[in-house]
A and B are shown apart, each in its own frame.
Chain A
């Protein structure tokens, strides 16, 4: 891999120019590329490496696009069961965190710059001291760990230091699931769902489509049963009972807003399978009618009893083994993270902690407020924090150690079904960071061991290929890229593997190539659920009519705060609220009215930019927090939701000072909801950057939806006159396309609004981040947006990007021919010809064009520039831009086909949004090819053109949504 070294040297030089220090020694490890064996690295041709990224410890299989050694873009790994080729918004954005200029660059001792050498000599003293008392004062605090190697290392550490204590804390944890499993089965298990097999799904506040282990895969499985192709129905039905509106609720056929306690009482009704309430009994009847093909799923915020009930009900309905199965836990050592942290705090307060090693996480910021972790941490004799950022926790530790990003290190991790994967680095550590493996190795016999050796040694001894647990976690994906893997399941391929089983090297390479280690998925575990009774604990309404229930949620953008300095995520319009750069106290319209809260549309930006919100004072158990109040339809009344992860003061330039810190109100006994919240309106007002606050369709036919009954009556319900080609007349002669004609079909029934496409587009197309002020002026730059509307109790979602019209209104009005029609039907934007009259944007009925009002692109920071896609122009000030259908990908595929002397294949060109989409809602292809997937979709009865009545003849068309709503529920609604 000599060329990689070349590149690293060059990049080191450029970083040195930027004034950053960088370890530029050539990499000593071997990295095996995915799919394409690079005989030689061809400049301009990206390579793809398979690895995984983790969230809350759980792995998501990814492929990383690397341009001459620079990772630039993350794609899903089609072979990996957690991904099947798709990603979520966090995975997409993680590449930006790699290049975050605010990442910690130096080892710090008491805030002063130090070195790894000084640290290791310090740690030798610590080790010597700890050896004498068997590590009695040695404490380790980690996040959830699914890494087999890291767990092994910690085990070894505990062998060396029998007194050492391992604590784990994860603010977005699965403690409730754990306790629920223990009370149902007597042991903790991991629950794995098969949404593709479920006809009726009841979600008890479970947002299984976003930000939860396996959600990318679950979204794919779930949506397979939610769309109609060629008249074939067989839709599943989803009931969601939730407090805070989620995208899962938006995808539901019936979504009922309930307080947590009400969800609990519904769960109890599920045990007896009867309810006094007509709507709830309709749900129960539906469940009962689908024994073996129904599914009850409880959310992580629900108390353990609800989880236990869900297990019991699934078991009673015969769903276990069908729509749900159980495995051993994915986390290496499943603990109750709050209890674990409390134990640490007790030890700290008692002065029993001589040495505290904090591997990742940021407990000073995100620990439950009542533990007062920061104060206790000061009582540690010696503390070191390994972290990507010099974060809040780092400031409270003697040592801060820069960590490596997941794209810079060797490691491993397991995904929701137990599948283990090797994490391989794409680049030398940019900032002198070390991985947790390397840090833990310092406590072992080989303190200088590199992460590569640690991980390899583990797998060599614990054997890739020796672990024989097989369970395919669902249908084999049909994407073209994994044809090879499908064969792997056939007997001949297995023989082949068996031949090489003794060759670790081959298995290792195979694992790196595939992005996962074969046969490591956990096999189903036979457990029998107790039938209860289960005692519902947790927050109960206090009976005080004036008080509210406070709900805590992971933020859909910054998660638990770890992404607070990630510009893409900060500026990502959150699903349903469309807020950027801030969190807010979310409440229902009725609650807002009761409190006298108003949201006003600002004169600048308006509903596409700025909402002026009343600030409320949230008072819980004497702790007061000020937060802007945001009114959100479908929120449960008398409750207020705050998302975690904001209000940080050591996040970095972007993250500091955004939003408010909801952890301040979060106590260890009420991690997800707390009753007895007092809310008072203040006179203060706060401007929120909200990209869509107008959610009424105003009687326009933008998103078309029908019930199954309506669809069966008229399959063409979505068609209008304008969709009839005969009626699409124009004075101008039509375009002729003799070669390709690119088009896209977007299925509104499949879109779950997860934002993965938005992030993917941003990463692929070098889309700049503009900041809160500019978003408030309605100038955000995303080329694709996800519109949402409320209509008849349904939440409708619609991804909107350039529609590439045949009769494009923008082309007509550009005075300088900067936007033109290509011979393949693309509406092309020539940036360097654009003079910036913005006439095209005015004339675009879809308002998908974006303008560089300022020089939004960062030309100053070399580090950020490393992320850029070299195949996409970085736009300068004063030019218009918009979705190109990823024209660079079209060209790449065409060139490749030409070089290989063949025709382009359908599915060879995949746009960034399409590739990221977990539900395959976006399909791109050649509409001149009658057999292409996109053409077939466009032939569907539900296909229609957005605003086609304007005779724009959009190339992108939409498929209407059909939902199988329960008529019994509809009567009651």
Chain B
């Protein structure tokens, strides 16, 4: 790993203040190792846990009674579930981007946010993965989408983007999980060494895979980490490209568009960074980590938000342009319907959230204002969910045959399931910050003492 250069005077520092190795370790590890959970944590986790129960209830009902409890119908065969799926997958992207692409590009400011961004990826993908399973009419046969030798001598239908989806999402989840775990190993060893309780000591001991911090270990570790980063990088592009194929391959007006892959990838990163901001800002204030997650991090993320937001805006514009330039009456009707039809409110929420609001990020004043960033990140999250809803629902509800045109609205169970996965996500995040070091201690130490780390390339 490259030594971290000293902070230049123009740039905000990655870490504020003077910290020793021990301080970094203590500060980060103490969050995990303190025997008592703070009241605020208990409260937060408790609330999130209630939503997990709600999720279980909603899923239980779904499995017992059937998909009919959701709002889906004919013509709108996909609804909340698929919008939620795409949204969650998209959120995951920021984690991979931060940990892999920024690592490869030597963006060292990433060190203080990459750990929980990766965790966020895994939890988001876990939430996302629930939806394609649950939205099936017969979820207990989900494995028919996997290519496995069977007595029926049947394979999946490889022309279907849903099959590609299965591969893409499963690969993504696996690589993200491995990457995250490998990155955790040195810190797990630190935790093992610091652990006082027998259980913590044993657990961290097992998880750290016998890490002793030898040069040999570090050598292998750095190699593997770089390799995995290299492996994860194309996934950032591929996963959401494949997800976008679910739509682009179909002939539904509003889906059938070649711009979808780049548009979806940009949208994914856009929403992912919004979610990182939504998480980082409360975490840094809750655990007093302002020194580690600094305004420079927030500023950088805001810039990425702006850049990806502009790509998304470009896509919206060109979707419109193509619809009108092509002369295709179905596409044209679809765009007009989005803007002034029954779901126009949703469309304008997405324009407000994804196009208008990010323009604030042109100004440094807003990029470095924590409350503005926090609110903006929530607005973008909502905007991006709305965007997926608009793509899924407005395209389907009025496609080719006016006789079949209908309307879709989520039922109580749809909302419960969405709220439940948000609860699951938050609960997992709470568990994560309580049980594992939320910031990479090993990397933070490098950031504070570059001179002491001399490594052969």
What's the least CB distance linking B246 to chain A, in Å?
8
Q: Which residue of B lies closest to A606 (CB)?
A: B407
Task: Tell me the bound Cα distance from A315 to B145 in angstroms.
Answer: 73
Q: Are B160 and A850 in contact (CB under 8 A)?
A: no
Q: Report the Cα distance A913→B397, complex, angstroms.
A: 28
Tell whether, in the assembled complex, residue B400 and residue A850 are in contact, meaning their CB atoms are under 8 Å apart: no
- Interface segment, one of A201-209, A303-311, A453-461, A837-845: A837-845
Give the segment of A1-9, A543-551, A697-705, A883-891 that binds chain B: A697-705
B406 contacts A813, C-beta separation under 8 Å:
no
Q: Which residues of B contact A839 (CB under 8 A)?
A: 77-78, 160, 162, 246, 250
Q: Contact at B68–A774, with CB atoms within 8 Å?
A: yes
Contacts of A604 in B (CB 8 A): 71, 407-409
Is A794 located at the chain interface by the 8 A CB criterion? no
- Can you offer 21 A-B residue contacts whose CB atoms are under 8 A? A605-B406, A605-B407, A608-B404, A609-B406, A610-B407, A697-B402, A698-B333, A702-B401, A774-B68, A777-B71, A778-B73, A778-B74, A779-B68, A813-B161, A817-B156, A833-B144, A842-B252, A847-B74, A847-B399, A878-B138, A947-B400
> Known contacts A843-B252, A853-B67, A853-B68; is A607 also within 8 Å of B138 by CB?
no
The B134-187 residues at the A interface (CB cut-off 8 A) are: 135-139, 141-142, 144-145, 154-157, 159-163, 166
Decide yes or no: A787 and B401 within 8 Å by CB, A606-B406, A841-B74, A842-B396 being known contacts: yes
Verify if B300 is at the interface (C-beta below 8 Å from A). no
Q: Report the Cα distance A652→B201, complex, angstroms.
A: 70
Q: Mark B69-110, 1 if CB is under 8 A from A, else 0.
A: 001111111100000000000000000000000000000000
**Hey, which chain B residues are within 8 Å of A852, CB to CB?**
66, 137
User: Does A35 sit at the interface, judged by CB under 8 A?
Assistant: no
A610 to chain B: closest residue by CB? B407
**A845 contacts B400, CB within 8 Å?**
yes
Count of chain B residues with a beta carbon within 8 Å of a chain A beta carbon: 53
- Give the residues from 603 to 629 in chain A that come closer than 8 angstroms, CB to CB, to chain B: 603-610
How long is the Cα–Cα vector from A686 to B160 in the complex, in angstroms? 42
A835 touches B145 (CB 8 A): yes
Q: Using Cβ atoms and an 8 Å threshold, which residues of chain A touch B409?
A: 603-604
Beta-carbon contact of A846 and B401 below 8 Å: yes
Chain A residues whose C-beta falls within 8 Å of the C-beta of B402 in the assembled complex: 694-698, 700, 702, 789
A240 at the binding interface (Cβ < 8 Å) = no
Q: Do B405 and A608 have beta carbons less than 8 Å apart?
A: yes
Q: A607, B406: Cβ atoms under 8 Å?
A: yes
Chain A hits for B400, CB < 8 A: 700, 845-847, 947, 950
Other than the given A813-B161, A842-B75, 4 more pairs (CB < 8 A) read A607-B406, A778-B76, A841-B75, A842-B396
User: Is A800 an interface position by the 8 A CB rule?
Assistant: yes
- If A836-B136, A842-B77, A845-B399 touch, whether A815 touches B408 (CB-CB below 8 Å) is no
Residues of B contacting A845 with CB < 8 Å?
Answer: 251, 399-401
Chain B residues in the interface with A (C-beta under 8 A)? 65-68, 71-78, 135-139, 141-142, 144-145, 154-157, 159-163, 166, 246, 249-252, 329-330, 333, 342, 396-397, 399-409
Give the Cβ gap from A699 to chain B, nearest Cβ, in Å.
6
* Inter-subunit contact B407/A880 (CB<8 Å): no
Once the chains are docked, how many angstroms separate the CA of A879 from the CA of B141?
A: 11
Q: Is the CB of A835 within 8 A of B403?
A: no
Are B250 and A847 touching (Cβ within 8 A)?
Answer: no
Among A697, A809, A835, A877, point to the contact of B66 (Cβ < 8 A).
A877
CA distance A814 to B252 in the complex (A): 15
The CA-CA distance from A368 to B401 in the complex, in Å, is 43
- Within residues 750 to 802 of chain A, which ones have a CB less than 8 A from any CB in chain B? 774, 777-779, 785, 787-789, 798, 800
Cβ–Cβ contact A835 & B77, under 8 A: no
Q: Which residues of A contact B68 (CB under 8 A)?
A: 774, 777, 779, 853-854
Contact flags (1/0) for A675-692 with B, using CB distance below 8 Å?
000000000000000001
Which residues of A592-606 have CB atoms within 8 Å of chain B's CB atoms? 601-606
Considering the complex, which residues of chain A in the window 113-136 have a beta carbon less than 8 Å from any beta carbon of chain B?
Answer: none
Contacts of A850 in B (CB 8 A): 74
Could you tell me if B78 and A812 are in contact, using CB atoms closer than 8 angstroms?
Answer: no
Q: Which residues of B contact A709 (CB under 8 A)?
A: none
Assembled-state Cα–Cα distance A694/B342 (Å)? 13
Among residues of A, the one whose C-beta sits closest to the C-beta of B409 is A603
Report yes or no: B329 in contact with A700, Cβ–Cβ below 8 A: yes
Q: How far is the CB of A398 from chain B (nearest CB, A)?
A: 46
- 0/1 per residue, A813-824, Cβ < 8 Å to B? 111110000000
Complex alpha-carbon distance, A828 and B96, angstroms? 42
The interface centre, meaning the residue of B73, B163, B250 with most chain A CB atoms within 10 A of its CB, is B73
Q: Is A476 an interface residue (CB 8 A)?
A: no
The CA-CA distance from A451 to B400 in the complex, in Å, is 56
Whether A878 lies near B137 (C-beta < 8 A) is yes
CB <8 Å contact, A878 and B405: no
- Interface presence of A834 (CB below 8 A): yes
A603-B407, A835-B137, A847-B399 are contacts. A816–B66 as well, Cβ < 8 Å? no
Q: For residue A574, which residues in chain B have a CB less than 8 angstroms away from its CB?
A: none
Beyond A789-B403, A846-B401, A878-B67, whether A609 also contacts B141 by CB under 8 A is no
CB <8 Å contact, A879 and B144: no
Please state if A815 and B403 are interface contacts (CB–CB under 8 Å). Answer: no
CA distance A850 to B74 in the complex (A): 7
Min CB gap A609→B, angstroms: 6
- Smallest beta-carbon distance B240→chain A, Å: 18
A853 and B72 contact, Cβ closer than 8 Å, known pairs A700-B329, A877-B137:
yes
Closest 5 CB pairs of A and B: A836-B137, A606-B407, A878-B137, A608-B406, A853-B68
A855 at the interface (CB under 8 A from B): yes
Q: Which residues of chain B are within 8 angstroms of A855 by Cβ–Cβ distance?
A: 66
Once the chains bind, are B145 and A815 in contact (CB under 8 Å)?
yes
A203 to B163, CA, bound (A): 58
Among A609, A816, A817, A845, chain B packs the most CB atoms within 10 A around the CB of A816
**Which of B71, B72, B163 interacts with A815 by CB under 8 Å?**
B163
With beta carbons under 8 angstroms apart, the residue of A605, A606, A785, A838 that contacts B342 is A606
User: A177: shortest Cβ distance to chain B, in Å?
Assistant: 36
Cα distance A741–B285 when bound, in Å? 70
In the complex the two chains form, what is the Cα distance from A880 to B249 in whole Å? 20
CB neighbours (8 Å) of B144 from chain A are: 815-816, 833, 835
Establish whether residues A851 and B74, one from each chain, have CB atoms under 8 Å apart when the complex forms: yes
